[in-house]
A and B are shown apart, each in its own frame.
Chain A
Amino acid sequence: MNTHVIELIVNGDLREVAVRPNLTLLQLLRDHLRLTGTKHGCGTGDCGACTVLLDGRPVNSCLTLAVEARNRTITTIEGISTSGTTLHPVQQAFVEKGAVQCGYCTPGMIMSSVHLLRTNPDPTESEIRHAIGGNICRCTGYTKIIEAIETAARAKKGSGQ
């Protein structure tokens, strides 16, 4: 059978998995590794619900082949809180600001926001809008999401993180 055995690091853990070439990274995460926080929306790159960090950068896991993640580092929504018991500042701000309605876009939205604040700790509103340009939300109208990201940026600055 046409399978490839690959190693990759998922949320800090080294994993060894056997994958068919036509398995997407999204299917690997959700169906094989049971990390169902990452969502499947469109499957064609349009919605951003499947966003994960690959070697630190947000990508659409629905359009990434699992075999292409060989020897690379993946961070999903399950892996952003460092303690495992408290929420990441961006998650906390999303809860506080009411930036979550149905919640389907939320994991992807948060992954894009986490990356934004790592590379640009003090973004303008326009920079925030651009950073989440690839994440579609059909519920909130984005206003609360943008407020949450601004709040998280301020909180991170305050805590010196």
Chain B
Amino acid sequence: MMRLPPFRFHAPETLEEAAAILADKGSDAMILAGGTDLLPNMKRGQHTPKHLLTLRRISSLRDVRNGSGLSIGAGLTLTQLLSNQTIRKDYTALWQAAKVVATPQLRNMATLGGNICLDTRCNFYDQSKEWRKAINYCLKKDGDTCWVATSSKTCLAVSSTDTAPALVALGARIRLVSSAGERVIRLEDFYNNDGLDYLNRRADEILSEVILEPVSGWKSTYWKLRRRGSFDFPVLAVAVAVKFTDDGTVEDARIVLGAVASMPMLSTDAAEFLIGKKIDDEVIRETGRIAAKIARPVNNTDLDPPWRKKVIPEFIRYALREVRGDDISSLRQRVAHQSRS
């Protein structure tokens, strides 16, 4: 049985108090939200923080505020997020993404902030300490070789968060709070394409809220490929948000791929191609081809890379057909239960 290593536990009541503890402990401390990513990782010896700081007692982190757009507290659980009707109606891609994260039990515990900060994943890393020891560990933790690409100087572990691609497509910004002050950045700028150093977050910073713009004219959708239909991390995610003019011309677009790199990948080329056009079948075909170019699936997740690569443009096309207004619910149903050995 895997046990948790020892640590000291802090349960601050306010964000200021939490920031002060982090400022004091620095990288010896880690934040505990739902714990559904961090605690398995700690049991596997991937993280051994001396201090854990829970956010659960800070109720302001669960606020959802309607203004010109929407502000969602980072401590909101995914179950709470799913019961919010504004999110369901206006920020469809986010709602759909949250809905397919993990299991009902885990969604009762898991938070939005934790999902955004989710550790990157790899078949050579998400293993027990003994398993990893047997391969002499790897670059991401305790070793010096990447077993996915032995010549690689960087870790290629995969960004596997469902909500982040959706949020990047929706143009989300996040607020990071520390004792030294706070900053608001675009979510895509929070990530690095490096499986080891995947977040642009200082050790003393707390992600406090996600800020979404008003959605008038925008339509969004989220598509996920996973091995098991019941629950599984994505091996491909496609999030698309498109703003249409009254006559159906694309005014703005954001196409994001998840689980194909160490961060959610925004295809600016595909967006540029789409803008000013009407979404006909030929445009859909070509956009799928262009957007898929930013993906480099490697052999460290479920399902073999050549097949995953082949289905990327198809998934992008499904998403585009859906935002165009095609009824492809039966296809969505089929993909949701997709499995392939």
Contact = CB atoms under 8 A, between A and B. Distances in A.
B79 interface: yes
B109 A112 contact: no
A43 B8 CA distance: 21
Interface string A1-44: 01010000000000000001111100000000000000010011
A57 B79 contact: yes
A63 B230 contact: no
B43 A44 contact: yes
A40 B3 CA distance: 12
B105 A68 contact: no
Contacts of B230: 129, 133-134
Interface in B27-65: 32, 35-36, 39-40, 43-44, 52, 54, 56
Contact of A59 (B5, B7, B32, B108): B108
B1 interface: yes
Interface string B14-36: 00000000000000000010011
A123 interface: no
Interface residues of A, number: 29
Q: Which secondary structure dominates chain A's binding surface? A: mixed
B6 interface: yes
B4 A22 contact: yes
A75 interface: no
A63 B41 CA distance: 11
A149 to B, nearest CB: 14
B106 A60 contact: yes
B103 interface: yes
B331 interface: no
A130 interface: yes
A89 interface: no
Nearest to A115: B104
A149 B11 CA distance: 39
A107 interface: no
Given A45-B102, A133-B104, A63 B9 contact: no
Contacts of B105: 45, 48, 51, 58-60, 112, 134
A133 B231 contact: yes
B104 A60 contact: no
A105 B282 CA distance: 50
Nearest to A108: B105
B7 A64 contact: no
B280 to A, nearest CB: 35
A20 B11 CA distance: 14
A2 B109 contact: no
Given A48-B105, A64-B109, A133-B104, A43 B2 contact: yes
Given A57-B79, A63-B39, A133-B231, A45 B9 contact: no
Contacts of B52: 21
Given A22-B3, A63-B39, A133-B230, A45 B108 contact: no
B2 A58 contact: no
A40 B43 CA distance: 14
Interface string A112-153: 100000000000000001110110000000000000000000
Nearest to A63: B39
| Residue in B3, B11, B79, B109 whose Cβ sees the most chain A Cβ within 10 Å | B109
Contacts of B7: 21-22
Given A24-B4, A44-B2, A133-B104, 18 more contacts: A20-B6, A22-B6, A43-B2, A44-B40, A44-B44, A45-B40, A45-B103, A48-B103, A48-B105, A57-B79, A57-B108, A60-B105, A63-B40, A68-B56, A130-B104, A131-B104, A134-B102, A134-B106
Closest 5 CB pairs of A and B: A134-B103, A21-B9, A22-B4, A44-B40, A133-B230
Interface of A: 2, 4, 20-24, 40, 43-45, 48, 51, 54, 57-60, 63-65, 67-68, 112, 129-131, 133-134
10 contacts: A2-B8, A40-B1, A44-B44, A45-B40, A45-B102, A48-B105, A59-B108, A60-B36, A63-B109, A133-B103
